[in-house]
Amino acid sequence: MKETVVSGIRPTGQLHLGNYFGAVTNFVKMQYDYNCFFFIADLHSLTTHPTPQDLHGYVRHVLVEYLACGINPDESTIYIQSDVPEVAELYLYLNMNAYMGELERSTSFKDKVRAQPDNINAGLLTYPTLMAADILIHKAVKVPVGKDQEQHLEFTRTFGNRFNRLYNNDYFPEAFAFNYSDNLVKVPGLDGKGKMSKSNGEGSCIYLADSPEVIRKKLSRAVTDGGPLTENQVKPEPIQNLFDLMKIVSPADTLAHFEELYNKMAIRYGDFKKQLAEDMIVFNGPIRERIEGLSGDSDYLRKVAEQGAEKARESARKTIREVRALIGFKSF
């Protein structure tokens, strides 16, 4: 029996290189060795109140981009979270045993409270229970996500184990974050600090669908400094970030060349950023072409979504049936 894998991304816009290297590249590799469920977390995205048009458009972007990155709908189950109402039912059961105190201590909740003080809704507080429902509904054991999601997986294990203890069984397995590289990946942004993330602003992100012109413009604006002051100087964060990005998208000898120039204090950031832009354009090229090809193919997208919903519901229905029996819901 193949191990089960679940992961999802909230539809909040287009996918960027952080999403790709932190999550989607692992989805593509895992689909041949595991029983994979990859979904679009549209219920989660309701916490930020998107308009109906934005919501549909963003779901469509992620579906197209999943396919363009190489997730094969015949190998993996690709579905839209809201097409599987069993997830919402499991979320309700898990919420009964999720405590205010622990939910309030979640780092992502605390970040959101700071970022959107005018919209601290119960959905934000219970985000970890909905995520646990996504994972437990298929009894997954591996979850390909970036480093920032580790605490959510701890919650998932806590809620699964608590359910098991409460109903005196070992129904839910424990799920762990997974990445093919040794450490969970963190792709830096272009704004000189922190990770590539939509919440760090447009300037931080290179989207998979960005045109060559846009990529060149974003790189020309990427944050640098006045240059190294001594030989072999430790790189400050904005510079280290750009080198880390080069390590991801450029050939090894290009990276070595610019490392040497930096260490000899002979680097010209203009040239360095131009080279990084060209290598990103080459990297994005084939994905971008496939995005363009797929985005107009509504018939195919509908077929993929319907087929995925059917397969995901089959698995989810089985879990809900068993969970209901364990809880004690019985028909007369």
**Contacts with ligand TRP, residue ranges (CB under 6 A):** 6-10, 41, 44, 131, 134-135, 143, 145, 149, 152
Check: CB of residue 266 under 8 Å from CB of residue 235. Answer: no
* Number of chain residues interacting with ligand ADP (CB under 6 A): 20
Question: Nearer to ligand ADP by C-beta: 38 or 93?
Answer: 38
Q: Which residues contact 176 (CB under 8 A, 6 or more apart)?
A: 141, 142, 143, 153
Question: Nearer to ligand TRP by C-beta: 109 or 262?
Answer: 109
Identify the CA nearest to 229 among candidates 192, 265, 259, 258: 265
Rounded to a whole number of angstroms, the minimum distance from the CB of residue 39 to ligand TRP is 8
Check: CB of residue 13 under 8 Å from CB of residue 57. Answer: no
Considering only residues 188 to 247 of the shown chain, the ones binding ligand ADP according to CB under 6 A are 195-199
| Residue 187 contact, options ligand ADP, ligand TRP, none, Cβ 5-8 Å cut-off depending on partner type | ligand ADP
What CA–CA distance (Å, rounded) separates 34 from 153?
19
Residues recognised as catalytic: 112, 195, 198
Residue type for position 134:
D
| Residue 18 contact, options ligand ADP, ligand TRP, none, Cβ 5-8 Å cut-off depending on partner type | ligand ADP
| Residue 90 contact, options ligand ADP, ligand TRP, none, Cβ 5-8 Å cut-off depending on partner type | none
Residue with tokens 């390590």: 247
3-state secondary structure of 8: strand
List alpha helices for the chain, DSSP H.
17-19, 25-30, 42-45, 52-69, 86-95, 100-104, 107-115, 122-125, 127-136, 150-166, 212-220, 237-249, 252-263, 269-295, 298-327
Identify the CA nearest to 160 among candidates 137, 127, 126: 137
Q: Which of 4, 5, 6, 18 binds ligand ADP (CB under 6 A)?
A: 18
In this chain, which stretch among 96-104, 152-160, 182-190, 209-217 interacts with ligand ADP, using CB under 6 A?
Answer: 182-190
Burial readout 272-306 (b: 16 or more C-beta within 10 A, e: otherwise): bbebbbbbbbebbeebbebbeebbeeeeebeebbe
In this chain, which stretch among 9-17, 224-232, 240-248, 309-317 interacts with ligand ADP, using CB under 6 A?
Answer: 9-17
Identify the CA nearest to 204 among candidates 221, 185, 227: 221
Q: Which of 148, 150, 154, 174 binds ligand ADP (CB under 6 A)?
A: 148
| Residue 8 contact, options ligand TRP, ligand ADP, none, Cβ 5-8 Å cut-off depending on partner type | ligand TRP
Rounded to a whole number of angstroms, the minimum distance from the CB of residue 84 to ligand ADP is 19
Q: Which of 157, 162, 186, 311 binds ligand ADP (CB under 6 A)?
A: 186
10 is a contact residue toward ligand ADP (CB under 6 A): yes
185 is a contact residue toward ligand ADP (CB under 6 A): yes
Question: Nearer to ligand TRP by C-beta: 176 or 269?
Answer: 176
Binding footprint of ligand ADP on the chain (CB under 6 A): 9-10, 12, 18-19, 21-23, 145-146, 148-149, 185-187, 195-199
